[in-house]
Structure 1
Amino acid sequence: MSNVSQIIEERPSDIGNFLVGRLLPFKNKRSVGPFVFIDHMGPVQLSSKENFDIGPHPHIGLSTLTYLFEGAVMHRDSLGTEIEILPGQVNWMTAGKGIVHSERTPERLRNSDKNMHGLQIWVALPKELEQMEPSFHHVEAAQLPTWKEGNTMYRLVAGEIMGKKSAVPVYSPLYLLEIKTVEACEINLGEHLYGEAGLYILDGKIETEGQAFLPKQLLVAKNSKLCTFKMAENSTVYIFGGKPFDEPRRIYWNFVATTPELIENAKERWKNQEFDKVPGETGYIPLPEDFNNFKLKKENNDNENTAF
């Protein structure tokens, strides 16, 4: 019997002036451990007349994780943070009771050709922390545990696994592990994984139980303790997951919460512009019209209007 319970294909999603590949949430799989949202950004080449511009928008009840492979993004938020993120670094923004941020092409690159490629991830907060004070942490590439086994490179982007711990300050047991190969090899992580586990193929190919899987596919394990697979040469995969929460999470636009009341409150606060402002920004992204008749009692379908 296969240990792959689901195969999720990357789906295109328009987030304004940028097309991304959406992996989570999926209609039959809303989360993997505490991970509730994953977008694959790019790879895309932008001309000197094109820029990545996501204006001010709010979040509650989650932490966002930005991890770039190529390009650069200027992050600004309502805490007064203003920092450029580069490939290999991590931006970890915890919304808690509410934060507003924007993400744009840095000024130094706006009039030149540039590439964009990376992952944008949301991690739900534990129920007892979903109304915590917001915070922001920038983690340099050198602060992420990196090690080699044979010709296989490992990097722990977030969380704790294999006796390693990332500098990203997470709030529940989880892991986001990057694995890169030069030569084909077998990977056995079963003794190290816990909770729910997913595997995203960025480049190359993996094989497990006689089946081959290719880029832009996300595999969800039935049992994380049985996670063994073969990676082809020059492949890159991301293993992510952790302990799932007891309470389901509701997602409306950029809001994640355990109760409909928290989401309704956030919607009203944003409509009335009662969130703190982002210094240096004047505009904002309104609540999407597509959700005017949204009913919180019904399970939402894939959220195609999410700004991050």
Structure 2
Amino acid sequence: MSNTGLIIEERSRDIGDFLVGRLIPFRQKRMVGPFIFIDHMGPTELGPHQYMDVDQHPHIGLSTLTYLMEGEIRHQDGIGTDQVITPGAVNWMVAGKGVTHTERTPQALRDKGKSFTMHGYQIWVALPKDLEDLAPSFHHFEPSELPKWEEQGARFQLIAGTGYGHTSPVPVHSDLFMVDVVTTQDFNLNIKDHLKGEIGITVVTGGVWACGQEINAGNMLVSKTNDACEIKVKAGSHLLLFGGKAFPEERHIYWNFVSHSKEKIEHAKSAWEEKSFPMMENDDTYVSLPK
């Protein structure tokens, strides 16, 4: 998805073992492991007079991860992909040296003429410095292809990376993890020794208790150490755990471009404005570079 404006929570706060804010980047924490941007879509109602239509826009230096709870999105890109994603599946696009794509409500949903709920996350994972110029690629995985397991009071699905002794088939390029957790009763979530690296926790619905404080839906916790304290999760909650090993170099971000090199970002900006960036063959829409 096109990043038209970063969401930065100025009221982010320190509660002891964690920083708490709304999504990333927020003021006190610009990245969590290789994760550099998380955009929460909805939940919102779409229908006959309003659909999702994100026109052709570019990316470099990152992989995009789309994960839905409700609704559908049709992804098309400059390397010929045409894929509809549904809840629980994963779309993983490696932008590398440069790719364009669109995201729209599928025609089949439009044809029904009915309202529906759209809810999910658009996530950017920065590529390692030496892999920023990879050739673009795209991968799709159905929910049945992703590792799942249960503990008493919670259901887990490994979206990407490695965690809790499982490995996702999503072809990531760095040490990371992203885990979906749904609780059916109050649950003590033990992270230590199960997830490696920096740790973020997004509260999708419900809430958690951490360091003696209650954190409700819409917030993100970021552990100040790699070994987070145990967290108590309310019954009926939905969490996304994400993170991994941090990169040694800073990452720069401008619009949809991510790189360790400001020069590469400036080159991508010029290419997009000049329309010399590799474009889609079957779509002549164009999102202008923000000024």
Conserved in 2, the CA contact under 8 Å of 1:207 and 1:231?
A: yes
Separation (CA, whole Å) in 1 of partners of 2:151 and 2:127: 33
Separation (CA, whole Å) in 2 of partners of 1:159 and 1:227: 22
Counterparts of 1:58-137 in structure 2, within 5 Å, are 58-110=58-110, 111-137=113-139
Conserved in 2, the CA contact under 8 Å of 1:99 and 1:276?
A: yes
The equivalent residue for 1:44 is 44
The equivalent residue for 2:241 is 239
Separation (CA, whole Å) in 2 of partners of 1:241 and 1:212: 22
1:276 offset after TM fit, Å? 2.0
The equivalent residue for 1:4 is 17
Separation (CA, whole Å) in 2 of partners of 1:5 and 1:225: 11
For 1:226, what is the secondary structure of its paired residue? coil
Structure 2 stretches lacking a partner, 5+ long: 1-13
Conserved in 2, the CA contact under 8 Å of 1:77 and 1:279?
A: no
The equivalent residue for 1:248 is 250
- Give percent identity, aligned residues only: 46
1:46 offset after TM fit, Å? 1.2
AA paired with 2:117?
N
Counterparts of 1:11-22 in structure 2, within 5 Å, are none
1:115 offset after TM fit, Å? 1.4
For 2:227, what is the secondary structure of its paired residue? helix
TM-score, with length taken from structure 1: 0.87
For 2:135, what is the secondary structure of its paired residue? coil
- Aligned CA RMSD, in angstroms, stands at 1.3
AA paired with 1:56?
Q
TM-score, with length taken from structure 2: 0.92
1:47 offset after TM fit, Å? 2.4
The equivalent residue for 2:204 is 202
Structure 1 stretches lacking a partner, 5+ long: 10-22, 290-308
Separation (CA, whole Å) in 1 of partners of 2:142 and 2:169: 9
Q: Which segments of structure 1 move beyond 6 Å, counting only runs of 4 or more?
A: none
Deviation track 1:259-293 (CA, whole Å, cap 9, x = no partner) reads 1110010001101111222232111101012xxxx
Separation (CA, whole Å) in 2 of partners of 1:174 and 1:3: 24
Separation (CA, whole Å) in 2 of partners of 1:75 and 1:3: 41
Conserved in 1, the CA contact under 8 Å of 2:154 and 2:184?
A: yes
Deviation track 1:74-113 (CA, whole Å, cap 9, x = no partner) reads 1000001011011110000000000000000111122432
1:57 offset after TM fit, Å? 0.2
1:3 offset after TM fit, Å? 4.6
Separation (CA, whole Å) in 1 of partners of 2:18 and 2:234: 22
The equivalent residue for 1:306 is none
1:257 and 2:259 are equivalent in the alignment: yes
For 1:265, what is the secondary structure of its paired residue? helix
1:5 offset after TM fit, Å? 3.3
Separation (CA, whole Å) in 2 of partners of 1:44 and 1:3: 34
